Structure 1
Amino acid sequence: MAPLPFSHLYQGIPPTLRWPVKFCLYNAAAAYILSIITGNVSQVDRVWTFLPTIYTAYYALLPLWPNRPPLFFFPYVPETVNPDLVQRYSPRALLMFGLVFIWMCRLTYNTWRRGLFNLNDEDYRWAILRRKIPTWLFQVTNLTFIAFIQNVILFLLGLPTQVAAIQQPAKLSTSDYVLAALALVDIATEFVADNQQYSFQTYKRTGVHEQNEWPGARIKWTPADAKRGFVTRGLWAWSRHPNFFCEQSFWVIINLFPLLAPESPKLTASGNITSLWPLLPSLVLCSLFFSSTLFTESISLSKYPEAYKAYRKRVSMFVPFLTPVWGLLLQLQGKKEEVDRVVYGQDVVQEKKTQ
Structure 2
Amino acid sequence: MDVIANLFAGIPPDYKWPAEFCTATTVVVWVLSLITANVSQVDRLWTFLPTIYTAYYALLPLLPHEPLFFLCPYAPKALHATMTNDFSPRALMMFGVVFIWMCRLSYNTYRRGLFRLGDEDYRWAVLRANVPGWLFQVINLTFIAAIQNSLLLLLGLPTRIAATQPHTPLAPSDIALGALALVVLAFEFTSDNQQWAFHAYKHAYLAKEAGKSNVQPYDKNQQWPGARLNFVPEDAKRGFITRGLWAYSRHPNFFCEQSFWWIITLIPLLSPSPPHLVYTASFPDLSGLLQNPAKIIPLLAPLKDAVPALALSALFFSSTLFTESISYGKYPREYGAYQKRVGMFSPVGTLEKGLFLALRGKKYAIDAIVWGKGKKD
Q: By how many angstroms is 1:7 displaced? A: 3.7
Q: Runs of 5+ in structure 2 lacking a partner? A: 206-217, 284-298
**How far apart, in 1, do the equivalents of 2:159 and 2:2 lie?**
32
Q: Give 1:79 shift.
A: 1.0
Select 2:230's aligned residue among 220, 227, 233.
220
- Counterpart of 1:284 (choices 277, 292, 311) is 311
Distance 2:121 2:42 in 1: 11
Change beyond 3 A, Cα 1:347–1:220: closer
Task: Give the aligned CA root-mean-square deviation in angstroms.
Answer: 1.5
The TM-score with structure 1 as length reference comes to 0.95
Cα deviation code 1:105-153 (max 9, x no counterpart): 0000011111110100000000000010000000000000001100000
Give the structure 2 partner of residue 262 of structure 1.
272
1:211 positional shift: 4.0
Q: Does 2:184 match 1:172?
A: no
Amino acid at match of 1:76: Y
Deviation at 1:4, TM superposition (A): 5.9
Contact 2:82 2:163 in 1 (8 A): no
In structure 1, the partner of 2:141 is 143
Structure 1 consecutive aligned stretches of length 4 or more whose deviation exceeds 4 Å? 3-6
Q: 1:347 Cα deviation (Å)? A: 4.2
Q: Which residue number in structure 2 is paired with residue 353 of structure 1?
A: none
Residue 318 (structure 1) aligns with: 345
Alignment of 1:66-77 (within 5 A): 66-77=64-75
Q: How does 1:1-355 map to 2 (within 5 A)?
A: 7-207=5-205, 208-263=218-273, 264=276, 266-270=278-282, 272-348=299-375
Number of the residue aligned with 1:352: none
**Which amino acid in structure 2 is aligned with residue 149 of structure 1?**
I
Cα distance in structure 1, aligned partners of 2:374 and 2:312: 39
Alpha-carbon shift at residue 265 of structure 1 (Å): 5.3
Distance (Å, rounded) in 2 between the aligned partners of 1:274 and 1:258:
16
Tell me how far 1:178 sits from its aligned partner.
1.1
Contact 1:239 1:320 in 2 (8 A): yes
Shift of 1:288: 0.3
Output the CA distance in 2 between the equivalents of 1:348 and 1:22: 52
For structure 1, which segment, 319-328 or 159-168, has the greater mean C-alpha deviation from structure 2 after superposition? Answer: 319-328
What SS is found at the alignment partner of 2:160?
helix
Is the Cα–Cα contact under 8 Å of residues 239 and 318 in structure 1 kept in the other structure? yes
User: In 2, distance between residues paired with 1:165 and 1:255?
Assistant: 13
Q: Is 2:56–2:73's contact at 8 Å kept on the other side of the alignment? A: yes
> Which amino acid is the alignment partner of residue 316 of structure 1?
G
Please give the alpha-carbon distance, in whole angstroms, between the structure 2 residues aligned to 1:112 and 1:210: 21
Provide Cα deviations, 1:184-228, integer angstroms capped at 9, x if missing partner: 110000000000000001111122234421111001211100000
Maintained 8 Å contact 1:202/1:209: no
Superposition deviation, residue 321 in structure 1: 2.1
When residues 46 and 5 of structure 1 are mapped into structure 2, their CA distance, relative to the original with a 3 A threshold, is closer
Deviation at 1:91, TM superposition (A): 0.5
Q: State the secondary structure of the residue aligned to 1:11.
A: coil
Using the TM superposition, name which of 175-184 and 274-283 deviates more: 274-283
Which residue identity lines up with residue 349 of structure 2 in the other structure? L
Cα pair distance change 1:69/1:5, threshold 3 Å: closer
Letter in 2 for 1:268: T
Give the aligned residue type for 1:306: R
Distance in 1 (CA, whole Å) between partners of 2:56 and 2:86 is 14
1:259–1:276 CA contact under 8 A, matched in 2: no
Sort the Cα spacing of 1:114 and 1:210 in 2 relative to 1 into closer, same or farther, 3 A. Answer: farther
Alpha-carbon distance change, 195 to 348 in structure 1, aligned in 2, over 3 angstroms: closer
Call closer, same or farther: CA 1:160–1:338 in 2, change over 3 Å: same
Three-state SS of the structure 2 residue aligned to 1:29 is helix
Secondary structure of the residue aligned to 2:8 is: helix
Q: Is contact 1:241-1:317 (8 Å) kept? A: yes
Paired AA for residue 307 in structure 1:
E
Pair 1:265–1:116, CA change in 2 (3 A): closer
State how many pairs are aligned.
347
The verdict on how the C-alpha distance between 1:273 and 1:340 changes in structure 2, with shifts beyond 3 A counting, is same
* Alpha-carbon contact 2:270-2:277 (below 8 Å) kept: no
Q: Is the 8 A contact 1:67 1:77 kept in 2?
A: yes
Aligned mates of 1:56, 1:19 — CA distance in 2: 12
